[in-house]
Amino acid sequence: MSPTMNEDHFNRIIARYARPLARVAAGYASHGHQQEDLLQEIYFAVWQALPTFRGESRELTFVLGVAHNRGITFAARANRREFATLPETIADPRVAPDAVLERREEVERLYDAIRNLRPTHRQAIMLHLEGLSGKEIAAAQGTTENNVNVRLNRARVALREALHRGGQQDA
Amino acid sequence: MPERVPPQFDPSSLWHAADTPPVGAGETVRAVKHAQLRLILHRVVELGVPLAAIALVGLALRHASTPPERIFGAFISLGVVFAWARYLRAIGLERRSLAGPSPGFVSAALERCAYERRLAIFTWVILILELSFLLPWWIEGLPHHKGQGLGRLFFLTLWLPLALMIALAVWSIFLWRRASREAIELRQAAAELRED
């Protein structure tokens, strides 16, 4: 592939999959600047891996596979297994929490819960939420579809419990 | 025993609620530029470090007075080239595994970490050998060249080798520490990826 073709392909991929890639970054890094760093690392990894894409899988599967692999090494380099803190609520008593803020906090809790899942469960549930099939997730994880189903079920249980706990704490 | 499936728990709506604004053309151009710059930087390091090591050996060889010393210096240079080629091979393997299954990629990353540690230790060995060769020569030669500290001769025989040695020492210590820490986390990730 010539450099120009690679650049065009890369442009299309970033434009098309920026949101899923940003969600992967949020699933591995807890703070804003870390997420930005990881997203740049993911873009670079996609750039490096692009010449190896031969169309054996969907483009989304390829891109997310690269992103998750980069997320794993990023987490290893950052050496972080800390818990993310929720953004502080507005201190001004005259401003009541609105639906948008509540929704945002729910989303933060979901990402927080995902970051605290075991790597196999985290990767499985994130790929599942992006629309990958059991077969595609199994290929990305180098395992069987049965194993993927087990991991997804356990991830759902863990997430439901974490979100339920988080909701109770805010009540 | 069949796994218990949580009834009606689907975080999809929350997952997609975190969508960021659409990516504009500026963002993709910036991403491409960043990726290209990082690639250039990687190439510079990939070429610069072994060149610095070989330059150091070459500068030391200027003082080599006997054929065995020259042969030893040439042997060290070949060792540097060979070690660096193996390191680039480990990096290449990791890059090629990027798009593959995670267990294979983590294995390749672990191999790269192991090789980085070996490379750091190899660098220390070379630096110790260089120092053992150059230090007596410096100690013996310095009193005869008083007042010439900033001259071309001093630059080539003292300051430049010293600067290269310090740079390589700092780089190799950083490499060893980073690779060691990363390997611990990657081994844990590899073990977790094998579970279930």
Contact A69 B31 (CB under 8 A): no
Query: Average pLDDT over chain A, rounded to whole?
Result: 82
Q: What is the DSSP letter of A56?
A: S
Identify which has the larger pLDDT, A18 or B59. A18
Tokens in use for A77?
């380099």
Residue indicated by tokens 């299309």:
A12
Separation of alpha carbons B172 and B150, rounded Å: 28
- Percent of all residues in chain B with a pLDDT value above 90, rounded to a whole number: 24
Residue A1 has pLDDT above 60, yes or no: no
Q: What are B62-111's pLDDT values in tens digits? A: 666 678 878 888 888 888 888 888 888 999 999 999 999 999 999 999 99
Give the range among A123-127, A167-171, B49-53 with minimum mean pLDDT. A167-171
The count of CB pairs under 8 A between chains A and B is: 152
Best residue in A73, A81, A126, A159 for a mutation probing chain B (most B CBs within 10 Å): A73
Separation of alpha carbons B172 and B116, rounded Å: 9
Best residue in B29, B32, B93, B97 for a mutation probing chain A (most A CBs within 10 Å): B32
Residue B60 has pLDDT above 50, yes or no: yes
Separation of alpha carbons B116 and B108, rounded Å: 12
Residue B11 has pLDDT above 70, yes or no: yes
Q: What was the pLDDT predicted at B139? A: 81
Contact A120 B193 (CB under 8 A): yes
Q: What are A43-80's pLDDT values in tens digits? A: 989 988 988 888 888 999 999 999 999 999 888 887 64
**Which secondary structure element, helix H or strand E, spans residue B42, and what is its range?**
helix B25-61
Contact A77 B181 (CB under 8 A): yes
Q: Work out the pLDDT band at B148, boundaries 50, 70, 90.
A: low
Residue B7 has pLDDT above 60, yes or no: no
Q: Is A168 on the interface with B (CB under 8 A)?
A: no
Tokens in use for A30?
């807890």
Spell out the residues 6+ positions from residue B180 whose beta carbon is closer than 8 angstroms to its own.
Answer: B113, B117
Gap from A134 CA to chain B (nearest CA, Å): 14
Spell out the long-range contacts of A128-136 with Cβ–Cβ below 8 A and sequence spacing 24 or more. A128/A152, A129/A23, A129/B11, A129/B12, A129/B15, A129/B16, A130/A20, A130/A23, A130/A60, A130/A64, A131/A60, A132/A60, A132/A61, A132/A64, A136/A57, A136/A58, A136/A61
Identify which has the larger pLDDT, B66 or A154. A154
What ipTM score was computed for the predicted complex, to two decimals?
0.81
CB A20, CB A129: distance < 8 Å: no
Gap from B127 CA to chain A (nearest CA, Å): 27
Supply the pTM of this predicted model: 0.80
Which chain A residues are Cβ-neighbours of B27 within 8 angstroms?
A: 14, 18
> Torsion angle, CA of B160/B162/B164/B168, rounded to 10 degrees?
180
Q: Which residue of B has its CA nearest to A129?
A: B12
Q: What was the pLDDT predicted at B30? A: 75
Contact B98 A141 (CB under 8 A): no
Separation of alpha carbons A49 and A59, rounded Å: 12
Identify which has the larger pLDDT, B122 or B196. B122
- Percent of all residues in chain A with a pLDDT value above 90, rounded to a whole number: 37
Separation of alpha carbons A71 and A156, rounded Å: 21
Best residue in B112, B113, B196 for a mutation probing chain A (most A CBs within 10 Å): B196
- Percent of all residues in chain A with a pLDDT value above 70, rounded to a whole number: 82
Length of chain A: 171
Looking at residue B28, its amino acid is T
Residue A87 has pLDDT above 50, yes or no: no
Q: Which residue of B has its CA nearest to A152?
A: B5
Q: What was the pLDDT predicted at A79? A: 61
